[in-house]
C-alpha cells in the first residue's frame, strides 16, 4: 500500500479509504478468478495433455498478472499417482488466492458490514494457509475450484459470494463530486461544510501555479465527517480533518518539523487546542519514513463559525506546497528565521511563495544581483548583510508578492524578472540615500554653527563673556550631535559590507568642518574682554557669512541628489550647481580670510586680540576648505553615475 | 442654489498698473481690509508677494454648505494657484521647487474668533527637500514644516495647542536652549517627526496632498466666520451688515533664506522727530519676528545700502510713494528674498507727539493735506505737552544705548513697574530700568518719565510703547548688569552700582546714560505751533 494510505490507516480513518479498497477488491476478484482458472487449466492439461493449452496471456496481462510462472503452471502440470496433479508454483497460486480474498473482504470490513466477519470466518475455515508444495490432490482441487453449493464451502464459492457482496456495496457506496471534492457516503448536513472547505481551497488554488495536488476526499464515518486533502504530491504529507458536532479536529503529518510548525502558526488567529508535536512511525512503512504528527482542535461557536473555519483551513493548504523548497531558496539571502517569517507573511497576505519559485527562486535573485547591483553588493556577501536586515526582508517580500501577483495576472516572466531587478536596484540605491540623508543632517548642523557665529559677530560689537560662554556651550552641543551622526554614517559605510562606501569622504569632510567651526567658537569664547573682540568682529562676521554660503551650496547639492537618485537631468544639474556654489564660496572665504588677517596685523597691537582674530579666521576658513572638498567628492560620485557605460 | 459666479481677485506684479476700469468694484468689503491694502500697494507698482483672494461673497453660501459654492471655492483655488505659479515660477505640490502659500482670513474689520493665519501651506515631507534645494538651509526647511504642522493642526484640524506646545517644551528643555528660535536643524527635524506621529495618533494627520491642505484651510477660514466668538463680537458691536470674511492666499517669501535675504520694518519718517527720511531696522537672513524680538541687533538702512543697494533704492522710493498715497506717515513691513524686495504691509505709523506735529505741518505745507485734514491728523495729540528738551552743560555719559524715544529726563531708578508707579505717585520723576520690557510693563512705562533697558532695539516693544506715550526711552544698553542679592535687585552700569531710588539721567535722542541728576532745559517748537494755529479752529 502507499505510504499515504498507510498513514491514514494508522490514523484510524478507514472510512475514507473505501473507494480505494473497493477498487482494489474488484481487481482482486479478477485475479482470484484468474488464479482459479489457471489451476483448472493446469489440472485439465495434466489429465488430457493431448488437448493443447489455452493461452490466458491476454487476461493475465489485463489483470496485471503478467508473470510467466503462471503460464508455466499450466504447461508444466503432470498427472501423479492416485489422481494427484503436479502444478508448478501451486503454493504461490494458493497464497495469492488467499491474498486476493482478503483484499475482497477489506472494503466490507472498512464499512463495518456484518457480512465481513462471516466472510473472514469462511476464509479461515478453508485453511488455505496450510497448503504447501506443488502437489494438488483431488480434494484440494475441489476445495479451491468447485462451484457446487451442495457440498463443502470452497474458495470459488467464497469468491463468488464476495463478488456479489462487493457489487451490492458498490451501489450503496457511490462516489460523487461535490464542489470539486470526491465525496461518498455523506449526510446532508455535511454538504455545506464540504462546500465551505472547498471554497477555501479554490480561493487560493491559483497560488500553486500549476503544481499538482490539493485533491480532496470526504466521507462520513459514524458520527464524523472526515475530509482528507492530498496537499502536494509528497508522501507522508497528509492533512485529515474530522468534524463532529461543532468541533473540527485537524490531524496533520509532515516529515519536515519546521513546516509542521509553520502549519500550526497559520492558525494563530483562531483559538485552537494543539496537542504537542510528536514523532511517529507508521507500521509497514519503509525504514526512515518517520513523520511528525500534529493534532489540533477548534470548537466553533455556531454553524457559520464552523464553516468559516473550514473555509480558512481550506485556503491555507496551498501554502504548504513546496514550502521547504521555498525556504531553501530564500536561505542564501536571509537568516533561517527571516526566511520563515517571509513565508508566514506570504501566507498571511495571500500571495504565497510558489510564484517566486516559478520565476526561478534563488536563481531569480542571484541573476538580479549580478545584473543590477554589481559592485555594490560585494561577492559572497549575504543580501541582508549588504542591505541591512530590514531592507533585505522588505525587498524579498516585495519580490515574492510581485512574482505571485504578476504570474496571476499572466504577465510575462521576462517582464517580471525585470521588475525584480528594478526592485533590487531601488533597494541598493535607497541604502545610499540613507547615508546622504545623514550627510544632510551634518550639513544642517554645520550651517547652524556658521550661522551662530555670524549672528554673534554681526553687530560689530563683539561678544561679552556671558554670550560667549553660551555660544560655546551650544557649539559643543551641536558638535556632539554631529559626532553621533558621523559614527552612524561610518558604521553604515565602513561596515563589513561597505554600503555607500564612496560617500565616506563626504561624511568625514563635513565632520572635520564642524570641528573647525566649533574650534572657532572656542577661540572666540576665551577672548579676554568684549572690547577687544569689537575690532575683529566685522571681518570675522563676513568670513562666517561665506562659511554659511558654502554650507548652503552643498546642502542644495545633496538635497537635489537625494530627490533623484535615478539621474534625472534636472536634478543632476542642480546638484552640480550647488557643488559649484560651495566651491566658489570657499574661494570667497579664502579671500575674506586674507583680507581679515591683513587688517588685523596692520591694526592690532594687542597680542591676545590678534591671536584670537587670526586663529578664528583660520578655523572658519579651514571649515570651508573641508566643505568644498566634500563637495568635490560628491561631484565625482555624481559624474561616475552618469558614465555612459553604466546601464 | 447660489447664483453668483465668483472669481478670485488676483494681486501681483503682472497686474500692477492696470487701470481702475478692470476689476471695478473690488473693495475692502469684498476682499477684506488687509487684502485691499495689498492690492493698493500692488497697483501703485510696488512688488508684493503675489496673492489671490476668495471674496467675502462666498462666505455665506459656504457656511450653508451650498454645493455650488463649494465647487466655486475649488475652482477659484485652482485658478488662483495657477496664477501664483505663473508669478513665482514655483509649482504647487512639486517636491523640487514647491510653491508655498499662507492662508489668512480677512474681513472688512478685524475681529476676535477669526481664524489665525496658516503659513507654509503646500509643504510635505517630500517637498522639505525641495525647500533645501531652493534655500540651502535645512533649518529653514524643517522649521517651515513644523510651523505648518502646528498651524494646520491647531487652526484647521482643531487639535489642541497643548499637543504641540508640550512636545516643543520637552525638546527645548532637552536641548538646553531658551526658546524654539534657538533650536538647531537636527532638533527641528525630530520635532517635525514627533508632530507627525502625534497628529497621526490623534487621527488627524497633515494631508500629504497640498491641494487638500489648501482646500481645507480655505473652508476653515470661511467657517470661522460663524465661530461663536466672532458672532458674539458682531452682535455686540452691531456689525451685522458685514458680508463675511474673505480668504487670502499669498505666496510665502522667506527672509531667512540666506545672505541676500532679510526682513525689516521701515518708517517713512523718524518716528521720534517726524523728520523726513527713511528710518529702518533691517536684519539679513531673518524673518519679521526676528527683527522685533531683539535677539539680534538690526542694522539700519545703511546696512541694506551697503549690501543690496538696488533694494535700498527701491525701498526708499516705494515708501515715499506709500506716504504720498496714504497721505500720512507710514510704517511699512518688508521682506527681501534672494535680492528681491517685497512689500508686505503698510499702516499709519505710531509716532511721538513731537513727530505728529512735524508730520502734519510738512504734509499741509506740501499741499498733500488740507489744513482741515492736518488738524484731523493731530486730533488726540496734546500740543501743549510737546517740548524739546536737552541737558544743560556737558558731561561724559556713564554708558550708551540705542536711542528709542526722544526726551531728556532725570529720575529716580525703579527696577519694576510697581516701584515706578509708587514713586510716581509720590510725585517723583522715575526712570524705569529693566533687562527687557514685557507687555505687563506698560503701566510702568507710563508712570515713569523714561525707560532704560539692556536688551531690545528701536523697533522693540519698549520703544514703540514709549514713543506712543511720549516717554524718553533708551534700549540695548549692554553695559547694564543686573544682580539679585538678599531678594533685592541692584543694577550696575559699568563699574558703578545703582540702587533703587538713585538718581539717573537719560537722553532718548542720543542714547546716553548719565549717573546722577542732570539739569533739563526745555524749548517749545514755536514755529510749528504757530503754523498749526493758523489752520483755524
Interface check B338 vs A, CB under 8 A: no
CB contact under 8 A, A448 and B135: no
Which residues are CB-neighbours of B416 under 8 A, at least 6 positions away?
B434, B444, B489
CB contact under 8 A, A440 and B177: no
- ipTM, 2 dp: 0.77
Asked whether residue B384 is domain-assigned, the answer is no
Average of per-residue pLDDT across B361-385:
88
B506: CATH: 3.50.30.10
Are B126 and B216 found together in one domain?
Answer: yes
pLDDT digits (tens, 9 = 90+) for B495-515: 888 888 899 999 998 899 999
Are B271 and B242 found together in one domain?
Answer: no
Asked whether residue B2 is domain-assigned, the answer is no
Asked whether residue B303 is domain-assigned, the answer is yes
Q: Under a CB-based contact definition with an 8 Å cutoff, are residues B213 and B163 in contact?
A: no
CB contact under 8 A, B175 and A563: no
Are B24 and B160 found together in one domain?
Answer: yes
C-alpha to C-alpha distance for A287 and B57, rounded to whole angstroms: 91
Give the β-pairing of A238-244 and B430-434. unpaired
Instruction: Find the domain containing B469 and state its range.
Output: 394-518
Are B267 and B412 found together in one domain?
Answer: no
Of B130, B176, B258, the CB nearest to A552: B258
pLDDT for the residue B322: 94
B65: CATH: 3.30.1490.20
Residue A621 backbone phi and psi in degrees, to 5: -65, -40
pLDDT digits (tens, 9 = 90+) for B439-449: 678 888 889 99
pLDDT digits (tens, 9 = 90+) for B462-503: 787 888 787 899 998 888 888 777 777 788 888 888 888 899
Asked whether residue B470 is domain-assigned, the answer is yes
Are B168 and B52 found together in one domain?
Answer: yes
Give the β-pairing of B246-251 and B51-54. antiparallel
Asked whether residue B219 is domain-assigned, the answer is yes
Interface check B136 vs A, CB under 8 A: yes
CB contact under 8 A, B185 and A473: no
**Which portions of chain A are predicted below pLDDT 70?**
1-15, 58, 62, 171-174, 222, 233-236, 276-291, 372-380, 430, 459-463, 494-500, 528-533, 564-568, 642-647
Domain boundary among B190, B217, B251: B251
Which residues are CB-neighbours of A222 under 8 A, at least 6 positions away?
A15
Are B247 and B269 found together in one domain?
Answer: no
Which residues are CB-neighbours of B78 under 8 A, at least 6 positions away?
none
Are B407 and B340 found together in one domain?
Answer: no
Which residues are CB-neighbours of B498 under 8 A, at least 6 positions away?
B413, B433, B490, B491, B492, B504, B515
Listed ranges B209-218, B362-371, B405-414; the one with the highest mean pLDDT: B209-218
* From A554-568, B7-21, B97-111, B305-319, the region with the lowest mean pLDDT: B7-21
- Residues of chain B in contact with residue A477, where contact means CB-CB under 8 angstroms, are 175-176
C-alpha to C-alpha distance for A267 and B8, rounded to whole angstroms: 60
Are B79 and B178 found together in one domain?
Answer: yes
* DSSP alpha helix (H) spans, B378-425: 417-425
pLDDT digits (tens, 9 = 90+) for A331-386: 888 999 999 999 999 999 999 999 999 999 988 888 888 776 655 666 667 788 77
Instruction: Answer yes or no: is pLDDT of B526 > 90.
Output: no
Taking CA–CA distances from A553, the nearest residue in chain B reads: B136
Taking CA–CA distances from A444, the nearest residue in chain B reads: B138
Residues paired with residue A561 on neighbouring β-strands, in sequence order: none
Average pLDDT, chain B: 87
* DSSP alpha helix (H) spans, B152-300: 161-175, 185-202, 210-224, 228-236, 288-293
Instruction: Answer yes or no: is pLDDT of B47 > 90.
Output: yes
Return the higher-pLDDT residue of A187 and B319.
B319
pLDDT for the residue A286: 47
Which residues are CB-neighbours of A487 under 8 A, at least 6 positions away?
none
Are B271 and B336 found together in one domain?
Answer: yes
Asked whether residue B477 is domain-assigned, the answer is yes
Residues paired with residue B505 on neighbouring β-strands, in sequence order: B410, B514
pLDDT for the residue A509: 96
- A364 membership: H or E segment, kind and range: helix A362-372
Q: Under a CB-based contact definition with an 8 Å cutoff, are residues A304 and A254 in contact?
A: no
Q: Under a CB-based contact definition with an 8 Å cutoff, are residues B397 and B477 in contact?
A: no
pLDDT for the residue A62: 67
Asked whether residue B51 is domain-assigned, the answer is yes
Domain boundary among B315, B348, B381: B348
Of B142, B186, B285, the CB nearest to A445: B186
Average of per-residue pLDDT across B332-349:
92
Domain total in chain B = 3
Asked whether residue B129 is domain-assigned, the answer is yes
Are B98 and B240 found together in one domain?
Answer: yes
pLDDT digits (tens, 9 = 90+) for A514-526: 999 999 999 988 8
Which residues are CB-neighbours of A100 under 8 A, at least 6 positions away?
A28, A29, A31, A32, A35, A159
Domain boundary among B191, B226, B251: B251
In which band, very low, low, confident or very high, does the pLDDT at B13 lie, cut at 50, 70 and 90? confident
Q: Could you give the angle at which helices A323-330 and A257-265 cross, rounded to 10 degrees?
A: 100
Residues of A with CB under 8 A from a CB of B: 440-441, 443-445, 447-448, 451, 454-455, 458-459, 461, 464, 473-474, 477-478, 481, 485, 545, 548-549, 551-556, 559-560, 562-563, 570-571, 574, 578, 581
DSSP B455: S
CB contact under 8 A, B176 and A455: no
Q: Which of B126, B130, B136 to mutate to test the interface with A (most CBs of A within 10 A)?
A: B136
pLDDT for the residue A285: 43
Are B83 and B192 found together in one domain?
Answer: yes
Listed ranges A5-9, A620-624, B320-324, B424-428; the one with the highest mean pLDDT: A620-624
Are B398 and B315 found together in one domain?
Answer: no
Rg (CA), chain B: 25
Instruction: Answer yes or no: is pLDDT of B314 > 60.
Output: yes
Amino acid at each position: 500500500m502507499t505510504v499515504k494510505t498507510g498513514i491514514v490507516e494508522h490514523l484510524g480513518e478507514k472510512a475514507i479509504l473505501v473507494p480505494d479498497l473497493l477498487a482494489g477488491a474488484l481487481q482482486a476478484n479478477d485475479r482470484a478468478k484468474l488464479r482459479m482458472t489457471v489451476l483448472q487449466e493446469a489440472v485439465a492439461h495434466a489429465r488430457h495433455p493431448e488437448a493443447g493449452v489455452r493461452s490466458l496471456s491476454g487476461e493475465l496481462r489485463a489483470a496485471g498478472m503478467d508473470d510467466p510462472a503462471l503460464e508455466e503452471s499450466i504447461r508444466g502440470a503432470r498427472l501423479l499417482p492416485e489422481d494427484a496433479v503436479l502444478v508448478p508454483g501451486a503454493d504461490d497460486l494458493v497464497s495469492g488466492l488467499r491474498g486476493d480474498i482478503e483484499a475482497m473482504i477489506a472494503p466490507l470490513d472498512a464499512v463495518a458490514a456484518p457480512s465481513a466477519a462471516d466472510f473472514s470466518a469462511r476464509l479461515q475455515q478453508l485453511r488455505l494457509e496450510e497448503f504447501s508444495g506443488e502437489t494438488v490432490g483431488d480434494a484440494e482441487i475441489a476445495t479451491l475450484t468447485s462451484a457446487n453449493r451442495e457440498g463443502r464451502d470452497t474458495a470459488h464459492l467464497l469468491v463468488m459470494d464476495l463478488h456479489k457482496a462487493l457489487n451490492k456495496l458498490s451501489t450503496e457506496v457511490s462516489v460523487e463530486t461535490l464542489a470539486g471534492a470526491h465525496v461518498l457516503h455523506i449526510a446532508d448536513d455535511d454538504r455545506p461544510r464540504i462546500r465551505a472547505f472547498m471554497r477555501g481551497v479554490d480561493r487560493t488554488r491559483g497560488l500553486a501555479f500549476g503544481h499538482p495536488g490539493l485533491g480532496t476526499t470526504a466521507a462520513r464515518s459514524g458520527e464524523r465527517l472526515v475530509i482528507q486533502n492530498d496537499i502536494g504530491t509528497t508522501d507522508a504529507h497528509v492533512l485529515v480533518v474530522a468534524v463532529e458536532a461543532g468541533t473540527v479536529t485537524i490531524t496533520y503529518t509532515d516529515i519536515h518539523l519546521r513546516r509542521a510548525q509553520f502549519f500550526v502558526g497559520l492558525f494563530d488567529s483562531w483559538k485552537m487546542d494543539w496537542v504537542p508535536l510528536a514523532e511517529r512511525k507508521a507500521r509497514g512503512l519503509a525504514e526512515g519514513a518517520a513523520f511528525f504528527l500534529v493534532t489540533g482542535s477548534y470548537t466553533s461557536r455556531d454553524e457559520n463559525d464552523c464553516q468559516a473555519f473550514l473555509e480558512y483551513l481550506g485556503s491555507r493548504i496551498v501554502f504548504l506546497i513546496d514550502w521547504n523548497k521555498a525556504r531553501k531558496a530564500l536561505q542564501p539571502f536571509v537568516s533561517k528565521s527571516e526566511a520563515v517569517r517571509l513565508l508566514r507573511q506570504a501566507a498571511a497576505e495571500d500571495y504565497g511563495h510558489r510564484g517566486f519559485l516559478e520565476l526561478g527562486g534563488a536563481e531569480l535573485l542571484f541573476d538580479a544581483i549580478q545584473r543590477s547591483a554589481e559592485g555594490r553588493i560585494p561577492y559572497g556577501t549575504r543580501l541582508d548583510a549588504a542591505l541591512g536586515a530590514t531592507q533585505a526582508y522588505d525587498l524579498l517580500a516585495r519580490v515574492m508578492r510581485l512574482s505571485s501577483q504578476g504570474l496571476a495576472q499572466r504577465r510575462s516572466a521576462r517582464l517580471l524578472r525585470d521588475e525584480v531587478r528594478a526592485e533590487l536596484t531601488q533597494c541598493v540605491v535607497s541604502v545610499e540615500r540613507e547615508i546622504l540623508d545623514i550627510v544632510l543632517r551634518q550639513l544642517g548642523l554645520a550651517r547652524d554653527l556658521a550661522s551662530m557665529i555670524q549672528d554673534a559677530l554681526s553687530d560689530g560689537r563683539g561678544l561679552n563673556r556671558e554670550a560667549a560662554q553660551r555660544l560655546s556651550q551650544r557649539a559643543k552641543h551641536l558638535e556632539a550631535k554631529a559626532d553621533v551622526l558621523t559614527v552612524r554614517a561610518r558604521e553604515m559605510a565602513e561596515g563589513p559590507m561597505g554600503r555607500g562606501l564612496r560617500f565616506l569622504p563626504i561624511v568625514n569632510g563635513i565632520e572635520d568642518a564642524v570641528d573647525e567651526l566649533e574650534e572657532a567658537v572656542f577661540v572666540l569664547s576665551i577672548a579676554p574682554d568684549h572690547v577687544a573682540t569689537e575690532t575683529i568682529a566685522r571681518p570675522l562676521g563676513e568670513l562666517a557669512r561665506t562659511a554659511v554660503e558654502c554650507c548652503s551650496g552643498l546642502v542644495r547639492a545633496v538635497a537635489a541628489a537625494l530627490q533623484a537618485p535615478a539621474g534625472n537631468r534636472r536634478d543632476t544639474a542642480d546638484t552640480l550647481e550647488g557643488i559649484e556654489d560651495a566651491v566658489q564660496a570657499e574661494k570667497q572665504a579664502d579671500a575674506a580670510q586674507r583680507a581679515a588677517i591683513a587688517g588685523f596685523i596692520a591694526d592690532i597691537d594687542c597680542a591676545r586680540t590678534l591671536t584670537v582674530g587670526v586663529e578664528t579666521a583660520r578655523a572658519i576658513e579651514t571649515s570651508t576648505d573641508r566643505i568644498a572638498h566634500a563637495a568635490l567628492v560628491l561631484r565625482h560620485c555624481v559624474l561616475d553615475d552618469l558614465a555612459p557605460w553604466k546601464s | 442654489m447660489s447664483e453668483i459666479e465668483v472669481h478670485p481677485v488676483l494681486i501681483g506684479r503682472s497686474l500692477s498698473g492696470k487701470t481702475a476700469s478692470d476689476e471695478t468694484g473690488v473693495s475692502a468689503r469684498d476682499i477684506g481690509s488687509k487684502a485691499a491694502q495689498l492690492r493698493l500697494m500692488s497697483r501703485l507698482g510696488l512688488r508684493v508677494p503675489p496673492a489671490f483672494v476668495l471674496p467675502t461673497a462666498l462666505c455665506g453660501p459656504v457656511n450653508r454648505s451650498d454645493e455650488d459654492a463649494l465647487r466655486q471655492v475649488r475652482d477659484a483655488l485652482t485658478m488662483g494657484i495657477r496664477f501664483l505659479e505663473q508669478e513665482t515660477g514655483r509649482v504647487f505640490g512639486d517636491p523640487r521647487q514647491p510653491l508655498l502659500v499662507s492662508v489668512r482670513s480677512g474681513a472688512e474689520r478685524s475681529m476676535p474668533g477669526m481664524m489665525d493665519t496658516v503659513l507654509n501651506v503646500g509643504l510635505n515631507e517630500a517637498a522639505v527637500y525641495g525647500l533645501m534645494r531652493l534655500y540651502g538651509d535645512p533649518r529653514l526647511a524643517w522649521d517651515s514644516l513644523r510651523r505648518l504642522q502646528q498651524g494646520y493642526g491647531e487652526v484647521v484640524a482643531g487639535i489642541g495647542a497643548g499637543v504641540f506646545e508640550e512636545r516643543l517644551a520637552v525638546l527645548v528643555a532637552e536641548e538646553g536652549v531658551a526658546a524654539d528660535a534657538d533650536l538647531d536643524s537636527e532638533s527641528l527635524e525630530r520635532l517635525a517627526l514627533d508632530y507627525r506621529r502625534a497628529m497621526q495618533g490623534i487621527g488627524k494627520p497633515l494631508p500629504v496632498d497640498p491641494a487638500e491642505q489648501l482646500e481645507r484651510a480655505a473652508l476653515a477660514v470661511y467657517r470661522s466666520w460663524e465661530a461663536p466668538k466672532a458672532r458674539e463680537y458682531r452682535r455686540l458691536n452691531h456689525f451685522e451688515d458685514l458680508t463675511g470674511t474673505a480668504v487670502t492666499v499669498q505666496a510665502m517669501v522667506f527672509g531667512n533664506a540666506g545672505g541676500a535675504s532679510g526682513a525689516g520694518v521701515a518708517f517713512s519718517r523718524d518716528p521720534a522727530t517726524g523728520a523726513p527720511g527713511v528710518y529702518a531696522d533691517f536684519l539679513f537672513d531673518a524673518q519679521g519676528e526676528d527683527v522685533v524680538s531683539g535677539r539680534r541687533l538690526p542694522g539700519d538702512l545703511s546696512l541694506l545700502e551697503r549690501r543690496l543697494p538696488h533694494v535700498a533704492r527701491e525701498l526708499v522710493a516705494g515708501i515715499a510713494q506709500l506716504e504720498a498715497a496714504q497721505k500720512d506717515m507710514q510704517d511699512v513691513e518688508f521682506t527681501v528674498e534672494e535680492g528681491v524686495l517685497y512689500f508686505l504691509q503698510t499702516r499709519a505709523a505710531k509716532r511721538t507727539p513731537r513727530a505728529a506735529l512735524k508730520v502734519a505741518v510738512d504734509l499741509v505745507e506740501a499741499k498733500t493735506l488740507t489744513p482741515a485734514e492736518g488738524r484731523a491728523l493731530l486730533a488726540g495729540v496734546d500740543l501743549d505737552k510737546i517740548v524739546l528738551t536737552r541737558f544743560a552743560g556737558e558731561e561724559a555719559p556713564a554708558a550708551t544705548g540705542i536711542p528709542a524715544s526722544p526726551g531728556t529726563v532725570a529720575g529716580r531708578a525703579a527696577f519694576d513697574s510697581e516701584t515706578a508707579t509708587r514713586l510716581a505717585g509720590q510725585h517723583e520723576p522715575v526712570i524705569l530700568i529693566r533687562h527687557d520690557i514685557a507687555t505687563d510693563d506698560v503701566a510702568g512705562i507710563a508712570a515713569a518719565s523714561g525707560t532704560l533697558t539692556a536688551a531690545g532695539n528701536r523697533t522693540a516693544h519698549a520703544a514703540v510703547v514709549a514713543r506712543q506715550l511720549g516717554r524718553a526711552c533708551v534700549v540695548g544698553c549692554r553695559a547694564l548688569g543686573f544682580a539679585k542679592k538678599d531678594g533685592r535687585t541692584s543694577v550696575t552700569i559699568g563699574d558703578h552700582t545703582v540702587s533703587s531710588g538713585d538718581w539717573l539721567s537719560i537722553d532718548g535722542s542720543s542714547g546716553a546714560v548719565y549717573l546722577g541728576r542732570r539739569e533739563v532745559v526745555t524749548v517749545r517748537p514755536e514755529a510749528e505751533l504757530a503754523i498749526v494755529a493758523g489752520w483755524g479752529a
